[in-house]
Structure 1
Amino acid sequence: MAGISWHYVFKFIITGDAAVGKSSLLIRLTDQRFLANPDPTLGVEFGSKLITIPEENKVVKLQCWDTAGTESFRSITRSYYRGAAGCLLVYDVTSRKSFLNARTWLADVRQHADPHLTCILVGNKVDLCDPEQDAEQSSEHTRTVSASSSKNPKRQVSLEEAELFAKEEGLLFVESSAKSGLNVDQAFEQAARDILEKIHRGAFDDDQSPGVKLSKPATQNNSLSLDSAKSRASCCSS
């Protein structure tokens, strides 16, 4: 583990209505497990994950802030939006209200986050829909999903409607299941790739964008940590 380093650190926020599965998505990403009934998020929860983007030959550390979905915590969670480079805007495919409210969450995020924010719309809980659909759906989302949505009364947001919303707002889009793990890693990786492309275009400045940081080599970081520890030890012993 001592030899692991990363090239970039990206600040991500996860937002959306309460009970859409934001905490479950974060736990699935960081721990590769599923909590059936997680406690409601009070304010924010934090998790981090190292991901590799092979085509870029880059290792990225995602620092993810899972924000509460209730209005009473809105003033607190807004402070975590500031400077975010990536956002998972989550709704529940079986809850039309959570999808409609996504517009409000998006406007709030865009008001407070980095102006070059990469946002991916995530339709969670597809496992509650047709099991065969969940098993066969690929990360590229074939149109067979929408064909089966009318047969299942639990689905309240069609694939086409969500895709249209994402296209209109300039968002990336994926449907996922925190329960099965379907497309969870892919959602974060897709957003991370988009942020890397923006870095290449010069949209993010390492010195000016708090949501994107260029990491120093691990050896330098370790050396600085050791020097700092020695300095503190000398100070305390004097």
Structure 2
Amino acid sequence: MLGDSTVGKSSLLKRYTEGAFLDSINQTVGVDFYVQFVELEPGLRIKLQFWDTAGQERFRSVTRSYYRNSAGAVLMFDLTNQASFESIKEWHREMTETVKPFHVVFVLVGHKSDLVPQRQVERKEAEKLASSLGAKYIETSAKSNSNVDDAFQLLTLEIYEAVKAGMLSPNKDWDGVKSRLPPTEEPKVQNLGKPEKQKKCSC
């Protein structure tokens, strides 16, 4: 989960994984961890592991360490905050440069769609940006629970299609999916195990 501070990354994840919405959530310190299971099709159950990164600049050195070995990224901005939209290209660039030569699936999410009168970013503008980044676009609201499941379903399907196309491949040493590299270039990956509860990093 990537985006400026206060765009609603934690709110969206909490709504998706716990079905809850809180009007006030403390800013993420470092990285929070969430797990969710989803059935894409009969007999195909997927385990999703989410890293909810802090948007503040002072935590960038911490959050960047979680980019490598990610299969996908949600680029999120606040529809009522033009500056957060303008930051998306930088988040995308930082992620892309960090994971090279790995492949990562991106989905662009415009959040807080319930705040119609305060809207500053138009759908066409966001769709144009998504197209330039090779990403799908969707608008969500954790408060009204609009398109929350759809956003993560879209991300999961995009990752699954990338796996089937050979752009991403499962790795037996890691509980997830990572991009293919020649055997001599395979990085050593920490075994993350299978935690089921949310954990917080206070680095």
TM class by smaller structure: 0.7 to 0.9
Amino acid of the structure 2 residue aligned with 1:72: R
- Are 2:164 and 1:200 aligned? yes
Match in the other structure for 2:137 = 173
Match 1:62 to one of 48, 57, 68: 48
In structure 1, the residue matched to 2:182 is: none
**Residues in 2 aligned to 1:104 and 1:30: alpha-carbon distance in whole angstroms:** 27
* TM-score, normalised with respect to structure 2: 0.82
Q: Which has the higher helix share?
A: 1
Identity across aligned pairs (percent)? Answer: 42
Q: Which of 9, 14, 20 is residue 33 of structure 1 equivalent to?
A: 20
Distance 1:192 1:200 in 2: 12
Cα deviation 1:104-163 (Å, max 9, x = unaligned): 11111112237321110000001111xxxxxxxxxxxxxxxxxxxxxx3x1100000000
> Residues 127 and 209 of structure 1: is their aligned pair in 2 closer, same or farther, counting only changes over 3 Å?
farther
* Partner residue in 1 for 2:125: 161
From 75, 98, 105, give the equivalent of 1:89: 75
**Distance apart, 1:207 and its partner CA:** 2.6
Amino acid in the other structure paired with 1:106? H
Q: Distance in 2 between matches of 1:113 and 1:209?
A: 18
CA distance, structure 1, for counterparts of residue 120 and residue 70 of structure 2 = 30
Q: Which residue pairs with 1:212 in the alignment?
A: 177
Instruction: List aligned pairs for 1:108-187, cutoff 5 A.
Output: 108-113=94-99, 115-129=102-116, 152=117, 154-187=118-151
Deviations 1:38-82 (A, max 9, x none): 00100011111001112x741111100100000000000000111
Looking at CA atoms only, which structure, 1 or 2, has the larger radius of gyration?
1
Q: CA deviation at 1:168?
A: 1.1
Do residues 100 (structure 1) and 100 (structure 2) align? no
1:75-115 alpha-carbon deviations (Å, 9 max, x no partner): 00000111100111100000000000011111111122373
- Do residues 18 (structure 1) and 5 (structure 2) align? yes
> What amino acid maps onto 2:94 in structure 1?
D
Rounded Cα–Cα distance in structure 1 between residues aligned with 2:28 and 2:21: 16
Q: Distance in 2 between matches of 1:174 and 1:78?
A: 25
After superposition, the Cα gap between the structure-2 partners of 1:81 and 1:209, relative to the gap in structure 1 and judged at 3 Å, is: farther
- Supply the RMSD in Å over aligned alpha carbons: 1.7
Counterpart secondary structure, 1:15: coil
Output the CA distance in 2 between the equivalents of 1:91 and 1:123. 5
Unaligned runs of 5+ in 1: 1-13, 130-151, 214-238
Query: How far apart are 1:185 and its partner, in Å?
Result: 1.2
Q: Secondary structure at the match of 1:16?
A: coil
* TM-score using structure 1 length: 0.71
**Aligned mates of 1:201, 1:126 — CA distance in 2:** 33
8 Å contact kept, 1:78–1:112: yes
